[in-house]
Amino acid sequence: MLYLLDLIGVAVFAVSGVLAAGRAGLDLLGVLVIAAVTAIGGGTLRDLLLGRHPIFWIRDTRYLQVILASAVATVLYVRFFPPPGIALLLADALGLALFAITGAQIAEAARLSPLIVVLTGTMTGAAGGVLRDVLTNRVPLLLSGDIYGSAAIGGITLYLLLQRCGMGRRLAFYIGFAGIAALRLGGILGDWSLPTFRLAG
Amino acid sequence: MLYLLDLIGVAVFAVSGVLAAGRAGLDLLGVLVIAAVTAIGGGTLRDLLLGRHPIFWIRDTRYLQVILASAVATVLYVRFFPPPGIALLLADALGLALFAITGAQIAEAARLSPLIVVLTGTMTGAAGGVLRDVLTNRVPLLLSGDIYGSAAIGGITLYLLLQRCGMGRRLAFYIGFAGIAALRLGGILGDWSLPTFRLAG
Amino acid sequence: MLYLLDLIGVAVFAVSGVLAAGRAGLDLLGVLVIAAVTAIGGGTLRDLLLGRHPIFWIRDTRYLQVILASAVATVLYVRFFPPPGIALLLADALGLALFAITGAQIAEAARLSPLIVVLTGTMTGAAGGVLRDVLTNRVPLLLSGDIYGSAAIGGITLYLLLQRCGMGRRLAFYIGFAGIAALRLGGILGDWSLPTFRLAG
């Protein structure tokens, strides 16, 4: 069940990578690279930093197959139809929520401190998008506006607090997951943003 | 023999890094950093992702010495002579071909799946150039036009297929190697490119 | 004592990251991310390349706490006071010197060759700033002008040479440390720079 959700998250992030690559006018290999980086960049950074080998997509090539299939399907789809705006936003929010909580659980299982658990989960959810933005030469979205990483931080913190208050792990998972998705979607629909910090020159 | 070719590949990529740094107007330390990143970035990423320690250039400092010598020689050379255009393109194509196939062989020796073998080889050949472009603040060449990564993918796939059809490993190596170099050079001379994928917005 | 200096170095680099984020107009989470990347990016790259797990800030979360506190304090401080120019430059030079020498000592303790020791120390001191610049979409400062990485290279080389000439490790440490800080501060005050290398085209 979680594995299936994980593959869906990878597919969704791959689609968002393909659309970003299309906006940057990359070639077809570039599209694949950005799709892969967006989809598995966060989990790869997590595995490298935690010293988990083999990296998840080397151990199980299903992930790469899903990325390949999603990328091809997306390129074909947008030839005939407009990009699926709302559906993609929804899917992206679910993908972020899922990756953030499952990433946090991996650090939790390694008995790391709460601060590292929050950080690992946030990184798993958000670092793929940062790499996508760096490679397409933009200031990462994560750093400059939307409620994105902060949604992950909020939801994972909630997930940890609820468990600390005695709630079962599974229920805390669902609530943290829903919290991240709600914060992310609310942020987009309500045009929320964190305050920016601006210094002169 | 392979080791010698490997060092030649490192030298060639270091030269191409120096020339890119010169076009970006970096200082002499920047030149060295870009030369090193271009020459060993791909192999470093490969070793990190496969969990191979010590990293190849930590185990054997000959690589760094070759980079240092190549960078110094190039800076001196271009003071007096024009940059060696055609010779460098040829050398770069050979370096790409060599790194891609030897990188693939490392993943092959670790008994990883064909998809990972292709990916590892392509990354070994092409990731150094991506890092060079990110550090000099350009959209990576890999993503936006030339036949580069795709030459690696094509040649490694050929190398694997020929072995699957019963050809000996050494002969398959030579043919895969020649295939990559030919695709790369043909791509430059014939101005081939992959189709780009462009979305409005 | 060294541990305390290490935490001070992290705090100083976090402050410099916050100020860079402020100049780029990032949001508050972006400020935290850039502060963390600047402060622990170099040491993280060092630990990854040397295969040292757990990474230093995963093993000891004091580092992240210091970053968090420094970032919050800086954001509050610059609301009321002008950014602390000279004090920060001095602190940054001390941070660079400290990270470079302690990074070098880690490679030295692993009995790596002098070339790798110099490289590891320089990376530990300077890579955080490179990551900061890549994420805020600028050509890294390291590559394009100031005496920064070169100060680290000079001081670490001095530290190794003095030991080779029979000086005690502790005294060599202090002299190498002072050398890096002096080169860095001299470079800023005297507007020193390495020659740049510029190619047409």
Instruction: Tell me the two tokens of residue B106.
Output: 């490392």
Q: How many CB pairs under 8 A join A and B?
A: 83
Residue B109 or residue C81, greater confidence: B109
Give B25 to chain C, closest Cα distance, Å: 4
Q: Which of C55, C128, C35, C11 is nearest to A120 (CA)?
A: C55
In chain C, which residues have their Cβ closer than 8 Å to the Cβ of A140? 30, 135
Q: Which residues of C88-120 are buried (b: 16+ CB within 10 A; e: fewer)?
A: bebbbbbbbbbbbbbbbbbbbeeebebebbbbb
- Specify the pLDDT at position B145: 67
How confident is the model over C164-191, as a mean pLDDT?
Answer: 93
Residue A200 or residue C6, greater confidence: C6
Name B50's Cβ contacts closer than 8 Å, sequence gap at least 6. A53, A54, A58, B106, B107, B110, B120
Percent of chain C with pLDDT over 90: 60
CA–CA dist B152, B184 (Å, integer): 8
Q: Which residue has tokens 């072995």?
A: B163
Residue among B22, B44, B135 minimizing CB distance to C198: B22
DSSP codes, A62-116: HHHHHHHHHHHHHHHHHHHS---HHHHHHHHHHHHHHHHHHHHHHHHHTT--HHH
Q: What is the pLDDT of residues C57-73, one digit of tens each?
A: 999 999 999 999 999 99
pLDDT at C201 exceeding the cut of 60: no
User: Residue A69: pLDDT band by 50, 70, 90 thresholds?
Assistant: very high
Domain borders along chain C are: 2-189
Task: Indicate yes or no: CB of C29 within 8 angstroms of CB of A115.
Answer: no
User: Residue A19: pLDDT band by 50, 70, 90 thresholds?
Assistant: confident
Residue among C51, C130, C197 minimizing CB distance to B21: C197
Least confident residue range of A18-27, B155-164, C31-40: A18-27
DSSP codes, B131-197: HHHHHTTS--GGGSSSSSHHHHHHHHHHHHHHHHTT--HHHHHHHHHHHHHHHHHHHHHTT--PPB-
- Specify the pLDDT at position A141: 67
Indicate the burial class of C61 (C-beta count within 10 angstroms; 0-12, 13-18, 19 or more).
middle
User: Residue A134: pLDDT band by 50, 70, 90 thresholds?
Assistant: confident
- Specify the pLDDT at position A90: 82
Amino acid identity of C168? G
pLDDT at C100 exceeding the cut of 90: yes
- Chosen for mutation from C38, C49, C56, C58 (greatest number of chain A CBs closer than 10 Å) is C58
- Specify the pLDDT at position B107: 95
| Prediction ipTM score | 0.87
Residues 151-190 of A with CB under 8 A from B: none
Q: What is the DSSP-derived secondary structure letter of residue C145?
A: S
How confident is the model over A171-199, as a mean pLDDT?
Answer: 89
Give C29 to chain A, closest Cα distance, Å: 7
Contact B134, A130 (CB under 8 A): no
Least confident residue range of B9-18, C171-180, C186-195: C186-195
The total number of residues shown for chain A amounts to 201
pLDDT at C188 exceeding the cut of 90: no
Give C176 to chain A, closest Cα distance, Å: 30
How confident is the model over A106-126, as a mean pLDDT?
Answer: 94
pLDDT at A151 exceeding the cut of 60: yes
CA–CA dist C143, C127 (Å, integer): 11
Give A145 to chain B, closest Cα distance, Å: 19
* Mean per-residue pLDDT over chain C, rounded: 89
User: Residue A201: pLDDT band by 50, 70, 90 thresholds?
Assistant: low
Give B79 to chain A, closest Cα distance, Å: 32
pLDDT at C145 exceeding the cut of 80: no
Evaluated on CA atoms C102, C106, C107, C109, the torsion sign reads positive
Q: Which residue has tokens 């270091």?
A: B14
Give chains near C: 3+ CB pairs under 8 A: A, B
Task: Indicate yes or no: CB of B134 within 8 angstroms of CB of A136.
Answer: no
Give C118 to chain A, closest Cα distance, Å: 23
How confident is the model over C49-57, as a mean pLDDT?
Answer: 95
- Specify the pLDDT at position C142: 65
Residue among C25, C53, C61 minimizing CB distance to A115: C61
B79 interfacial to chain C (CB closer than 8 Å): no
CA–CA dist C120, C197 (Å, integer): 25
C48 interfacial to chain B (CB closer than 8 Å): yes
* Mean per-residue pLDDT over chain A, rounded: 89
Give chains near A: 3+ CB pairs under 8 A: B, C
C29 interfacial to chain A (CB closer than 8 Å): yes
In chain C, which residues have their Cβ closer than 8 Å to the Cβ of B33? 142-143, 149
- Specify the pLDDT at position C159: 97
How many other CB atoms are found less than 10 A from the CB of residue A85?
9
Task: Indicate yes or no: CB of B143 within 8 angstroms of CB of A21.
Answer: yes
Give chains near B: 3+ CB pairs under 8 A: A, C
Evaluated on CA atoms B73, B79, B80, B82, the torsion sign reads positive
Half-sphere exposure of C168 (CA within 13 A, CB side): 3
Task: Indicate yes or no: CB of B83 within 8 angstroms of CB of C49.
Answer: no
How confident is the model over C14-42, as a mean pLDDT?
Answer: 90
Among B103-117, C78-92, C136-150, the range of highest mean pLDDT: B103-117
- Stated as kind and residue range, the H or E segment containing C92 is helix C85-109
A72 interfacial to chain B (CB closer than 8 Å): no
Task: Indicate yes or no: CB of C197 within 8 angstroms of CB of B28.
Answer: yes
The whole-number mean pLDDT for each consecutive block of 10 residues of chain B, a chain of 201 residues, reads 83 90 86 94 96 94 96 91 76 88 94 95 92 79 76 96 95 96 90 80 56
Evaluated on CA atoms C134, C140, C142, C146, the torsion sign reads negative
- Specify the pLDDT at position C89: 78
- Chosen for mutation from B143, B147, B157, B196 (greatest number of chain A CBs closer than 10 Å) is B143
- Specify the pLDDT at position C14: 94
